[in-house]
């Protein structure tokens, strides 16, 4: 039997004046999988995630998390959201930041804080004020805050930007363990080299999903072994970003 969708978008749209940032997205994402939302900067990835997470109201259409229409304050404890820009208190210590957000999200006890610190390898800096951290360390702290309350749904917007390669591997290994345990994860990125770590990919361009499937399925459909080339073909562009002739690969769901 097919599981009920954890995340849903129904003709989801968001406009900022004449700009259609999200232009009619329909999604139904099942639990326990890692979904990659891939596309260039300005394609609508962040706006889509913010509407699904209930942080931005759609102009029209509907977003649902666990069957509940968003926005809904009561659902915030079920969601972990890691934005591109860190929302941290610079004067507070690493542990104080995690503890503060853990309390807001319903997580209690030192054990949860310690697990989060250990995951992002910041235990030794637990007492350091955030203002003393490097950019990469602040990124790690943001992830710890996102995960500390162990939510069943995760929205991660460029989660590994500024993170060193070894820790990136650790992050993705943890994402996989979470998904295997039933967590649903939506990862937004414009970097294709992490795409094959996802169970399923959604290519987005100009606020629309232009292709969906596994990395292997999308490459096969586009007749290429390169996801960036596949994305360009689904966008109707050649390798140099120029429009293809009529008959190019069009919208597809693998």
What's 54's domain CATH number?
3.40.50.300
* Alpha carbon distance 109, 102 (integer Å): 9
**pLDDT value of residue 104:** 86
User: What phi, psi does 54 have (nearest 5°)?
Assistant: 80, 20
Inside any domain, residue 109: no
**pLDDT value of residue 1:** 54
Inside any domain, residue 47: yes
**pLDDT value of residue 248:** 47
**pLDDT value of residue 196:** 87
Say how many domains are in the chain. Answer: 1
Inside any domain, residue 90: no
Inside any domain, residue 117: no
In DSSP terms, 80 is beta-bridged to 154
**pLDDT value of residue 2:** 66
> What pTM does this model have?
0.89
Contact 89, 101 (CB under 8 A): no
Inside any domain, residue 149: no
Contact 209, 235 (CB under 8 A): no
Place of tokens 């939506």: 186
For residue 159, give the nearest of 4, 73, 17, 34 by alpha carbon.
34
Query: CB atoms < 10 A from the CB of 166, how many?
Result: 8
Domain with 55, as residue range(s), is 7-83+158-253
Inside any domain, residue 115: no
Inside any domain, residue 29: yes
**pLDDT value of residue 105:** 84
Inside any domain, residue 23: yes
Spell out, as residue ranges, where the chain has pLDDT lower than 70.
1-2, 240-241, 244-254
């Amino acid at each position: 039997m097919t599981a009920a969708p954890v995340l849903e978008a129904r003709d989801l749209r968001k406009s900022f004046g004449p700009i259609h940032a999200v232009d009619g997205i329909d999604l139904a994402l099942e639990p326990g999988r890692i979904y990659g939302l891939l596309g260039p900067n300005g394609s609508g990835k962040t706006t889509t995630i913010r509407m699904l997470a209930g942080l931005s109201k759609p102009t029209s259409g509907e977003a649902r998390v666990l069957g509940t229409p968003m926005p809904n304050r009561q659902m915030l404890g079920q969601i972990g959201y890691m934005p591109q820009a860190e929302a941290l208190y610079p004067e507070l210590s690493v542990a104080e930041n995690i503890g503060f957000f853990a309390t807001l999200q319903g997580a209690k006890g030192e054990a949860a804080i310690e697990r989060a610190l250990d995951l992002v390898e910041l235990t030794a800096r637990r007492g350091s004020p955030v203002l003393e951290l490097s950019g990469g360390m602040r990124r790690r702290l943001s992830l710890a805050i996102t995960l500390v309350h162990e939510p069943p749904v995760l929205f991660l917007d460029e989660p590994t930007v500024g993170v060193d390669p070894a820790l990136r591997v650790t992050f993705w290994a943890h994402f996989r363990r979470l998904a295997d345990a039933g967590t649903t994860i939506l990862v937004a990125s414009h970097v294709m080299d992490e795409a094959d770590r996802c169970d399923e990919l959604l290519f987005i361009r100009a606020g629309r999903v232009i292709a969906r499937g596994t990395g292997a399925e999308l490459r096969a459909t586009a007749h290429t072994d390169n996801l960036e080339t596949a994305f360009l073909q689904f966008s109707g562009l050649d390798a140099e970003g120029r429009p293809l002739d009529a008959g190019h690969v069009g919208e597809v769901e693998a």
